[in-house]
Amino acid sequence: MKKDQAIRDAFKIGDFVVGIGPHRGCSNVFEGNGGHYQPFSYLDDFDPAHFRLATEDEKSAAIADIQR
């Protein structure tokens, strides 16, 4: 089993997630170069319990921050 399989099962590409464990912030889920599942690979945290789906308000705020 790939080390990121649990997080891939919990969150799909295009979802927005919020860190509720040791990581904070809101980010969209995407697959980067080499198949790295982001933001989890960047954070080196593949525990689904450390993240949750973002609310629509959190998603809108994250998108607005990106567009600045």
pLDDT tens string 35-64: 999 999 999 999 999 999 999 999 999 999
Task: Domain ranges for the chain, please list them.
Answer: 5-67
The pTM score is 0.88
pLDDT of residue 67: 86
Q: What is the pLDDT of residues 1-26, one digit of tens each?
A: 588 999 999 999 999 999 998 999 99
* Half-sphere exposure of residue 14: CA atoms within 13 angstroms, side-chain side: 0
**How far is it, in rounded angstroms, from Cα 51 to Cα 65?**
20
**How far is it, in rounded angstroms, from Cα 23 to Cα 38?**
13
pLDDT of residue 49: 96
Average pLDDT, the chain: 94
